[in-house]
């Protein structure tokens, strides 16, 4: 069984790899590298490493007191099916900076089953939530 490590050490992140994956993802197509760099700098980040090569990632935008937003979660296709997403989510949910929060949000198109295992559910009161959504922001450069 291959050995994997999960770290929050930003010095060990493969920013090129993160940008490459996110720029091709359904949720952030075409995202500029500078935007990825800024997002990483201002988030609590988690990397899955295999033999010091990054094979997964997630970041949490948080005030570390009341609120967090989970974003950009992925495991590279060749490393899926080994329970890494569950292991990553366990590390995120148990992280000391994310304890005692009133609310943690995320958006997903296809991973509801995974996130439900960690307590996520549909919005309790969706009529209270609002958004400013600009899906074409990266294409306007």
- The SS3 assignment for 103 reads strand
Break the chain into its structural domains and give their ranges.
5-128
User: What is the pLDDT, as a whole number, of residue 1?
Assistant: 52
CATH of 5-128, one of 3.30.70.3270, 3.40.630.30, 3.40.50.450, 3.40.50.360: 3.40.630.30
59-114 per-position pLDDT tens digit: 999 999 999 999 999 999 999 999 999 999 999 999 999 999 999 999 999 999 99
Q: How far is it, in rounded angstroms, from Cα 46 to Cα 7?
A: 6
> Cβ of 130: how many Cβ atoms within 10 Å?
7
User: What is the pLDDT, as a whole number, of residue 23?
Assistant: 97
Residue by residue, DSSP assigns 3-69 as: --EEE--GGG--HHHHHHHHHTSSSSTT--HHHHHHHHHTSEEEEEEETTEEEEEEEEEE-SSSEEE
Q: pTM for this one?
A: 0.94
């Amino acid at each position: 069984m291959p050995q994997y490590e999960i770290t929050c050490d930003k010095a060990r992140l493969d920013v090129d790899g993160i940008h490459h994956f996110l720029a091709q993802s359904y949720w952030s197509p075409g995202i500029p590298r500078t935007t990825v760099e800024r997002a990483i700098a201002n988030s609590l980040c988690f990397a899955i490493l295999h033999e010091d090569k990054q094979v997964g990632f997630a970041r949490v935008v948080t005030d570390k007191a009341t609120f967090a937003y989970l974003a950009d979660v992925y495991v590279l296709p060749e490393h899926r099916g080994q329970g890494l997403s569950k292991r990553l989510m366990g590390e995120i949910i148990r992280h000391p900076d994310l304890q005692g929060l009133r609310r943690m949000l995320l958006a997903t198109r296809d991973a509801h089953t995974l996130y439900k295992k960690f307590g996520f559910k549909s919005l309790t009161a969706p009529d209270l939530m609002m958004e400013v959504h600009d899906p074409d922001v990266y294409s306007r450069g």
